[in-house]
Amino acid sequence: MQRRQGTLTVVGQGSSPRLQRILEFAERNRIPYRWLDPSDSAQKAEIEKSAAKGSGMQVIVRGRQVLQDPTVAEVARALGLELAAQSDVADSICIT
C-alpha cells in the first residue's frame, strides 16, 4: 500500500530489498509514508522537489532529516522508536 502523505518519504527503486524492508516496517507499524520511484517518469518532478539528493535509496523523515541507504533500525531511531533486540524472547498467552 502506498500512502500519499506521511511521516516518511522513501525514494528508491521498487526492486531494492532494503527499500522493501523499510516499506514493510512502515506498514506493520502504521507509519504514514509515501514512496517515490525514480524509474517512474511521472514522479521525477516530485523527487526533485523533495529533499532527496544523489542516487541510491533515501528516506526523508518528517520532511527534515535525510537518511542515505538506511537500515530499518536507522529509520526507527530517526523516528524516535526503539526496536527490540533480536535475542529478546517473549512468551504470550491470551485468556478469553
d(CA 70, CA 43): 21
d(CA 96, CA 87): 29
Q: Which residues, at least 6 apart from 83, have a Cβ–Cβ distance to it below 8 Å?
A: 72, 73, 76
* pTM (predicted TM-score): 0.73
CB 38 within 8 A of CB 12: yes
Give, for all 96 residues of the chain, the pLDDT tens digit. Answer: 444 456 899 999 888 899 999 999 999 999 999 999 988 888 888 887 776 676 778 898 888 888 999 999 999 999 988 776 655 566 666 676
Query: What is the fold of 8-78?
Result: Glutaredoxin (3.40.30)
Q: Where are the domains of the chain?
A: 8-78
Cell readout for 80 is: 524516535
